[in-house]
Amino acid sequence: MAQHTARRLKVAQHFRSLHPRLSTTSKLTLAGDWLAAAGFLPGAFAVVEVQAGRLIITTAPVH
């Protein structure tokens, strides 16, 4: 039986720090503007899940 692994995340702009440090958070950082080019705007929500060994990112329904 497959385990449901979907997460709902908020898309937010990120600015690089001059002094980066390693930290563990509950967010997924995706570099580049390809996410915005695919229609995901800052403030919108996305669903991130694993299906058949691939990471799938889709828009989340508005509640």
List the domain boundaries for the chain.
Answer: 1-13+29-63
- The pLDDT of residue 42: 78
Per-residue pLDDT of the chain (63 residues; tens, 9 = 90+): 445 566 666 666 655 566 555 555 566 666 677 777 888 877 788 888 888 888 788 888 776
Cβ atoms of 42 and 12 within 8 Å: the answer is: yes
- The pLDDT of residue 33: 77
For the CA atoms of 25, 26, 31, 35, the dihedral, rounded to the nearest 10 degrees, stands at -160
- The pLDDT of residue 48: 80
- The pLDDT of residue 1: 45
Separation CA 58–CA 46 (nearest Å): 6
Secondary structure class of 34 (helix, strand, coil) = helix
Judge if pTM exceeds 0.75.
no
Structural tokens at position 47: 């669903």
Look-up of token digits 């503007």:
33
